[in-house]
């Protein structure tokens, strides 16, 4: 039994070793064609961190693909549409807040979409960061790791159903506050990140990680689409 576990772990390490080799080669290759090293370093750094998290949590590409396949086409399209709706709601709120004189700038640590005149490979990398790597990385950290791990402990406890529900609600609140603060936005923009995080968290608890990632990615895609018009 122990030998089988060791064999499985070694197989896991080999898989991610190959993964990081591909990431390194991609970085070196794309570096020859990009005019914006910041975007390239950002996307490869995020991919590397995603790989670390997947290795720590022993998530394989096959397992992730199977989880997405279990959602089915209907739910997948539904969550993508939901992400666009969420993005539209957030956009409307930000425009309204700006008209009221509130500062609605994103945090200093956030990628400023309008600040890039991206073309060619730089545009592809920008889209990848905003719609793929950043949402996946954030959902792995805030939903899969923080929310998911603690929520499983709550469910495994001997507490009453009412107390479990109260603790779960408090957990969603805390994770959403942390998610919002991590984006270091202006006070008016804080509500957007908090509200979005609550939606992502509830979707994760009900439907799993793919649902949260799809919502997050689609919402970011909507913001990118509006910014590019």
Q: Give the 3-state secondary structure of residue 30.
A: helix
Local structure of 118: helix, strand or coil: coil
d(CA 186, CA 188): 6
Half-sphere CA count of 104, side-chain side, radius 13 A: 15
Summarize pLDDT for 149-176 with one digit per residue, the tens. Answer: 999 999 999 999 999 999 999 999 999 9
Q: Is the pLDDT of residue 95 over 80?
A: yes
Q: Which residues does 20 contact at the CB level (< 8 Å), separation at least 6?
A: 48, 51
> How is the chain split into domains, by residue range?
61-228
Burial 88-109 (b: 16+ CB within 10 A, else e): ebbbebbeebeeeeeebebeee
Higher pLDDT, 50 or 104: 50
- b/e per residue, 56-80, with b = 16+ CB within 10 A? eeebeeeeeeeebeebeeebeebbb
What are the pLDDT digits (tens) for 62-78? 777 788 788 888 999 99
């Amino acid at each position: 039994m122990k030998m089988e576990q060791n064999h499985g772990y070694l197989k896991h390490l080999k898989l991610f070793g190959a993964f990081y080799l591909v990431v390194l080669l991609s970085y070196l290759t794309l570096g020859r064609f990009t005019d914006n090293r910041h975007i390239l370093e950002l996307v490869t750094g995020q991919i590397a961190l995603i790989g670390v998290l997947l290795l720590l949590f022993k998530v394989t590409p096959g397992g992730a693909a199977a989880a997405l396949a279990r959602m089915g086409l209907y739910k997948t399209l539904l969550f993508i549409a939901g992400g666009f709706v969420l993005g539209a709601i957030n956009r409307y709120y930000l425009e309204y807040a700006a008209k009221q004189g509130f500062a609605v700038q994103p945090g200093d640590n956030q990628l400023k979409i309008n600040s890039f005149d991206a073309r060619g490979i730089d545009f592809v990398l920008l889209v990848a960061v905003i719609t793929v790597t950043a949402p996946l990385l954030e959902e792995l950290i805030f939903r899969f790791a923080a929310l998911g791990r603690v929520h499983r402990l709550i469910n495994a406890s001997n507490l009453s159903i009412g107390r479990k529900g109260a603790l779960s609600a408090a957990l969603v609140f805390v994770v959403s506050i942390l998610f919002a603060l991590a984006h270091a936005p202006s006070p008016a923009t804080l509500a957007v990140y908090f509200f979005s995080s609550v939606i992502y968290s509830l979707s994760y608890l009900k439907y799993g990680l793919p649902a949260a990632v799809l919502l997050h990615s689609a919402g970011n895609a909507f913001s990118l689409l509006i910014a590019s018009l």
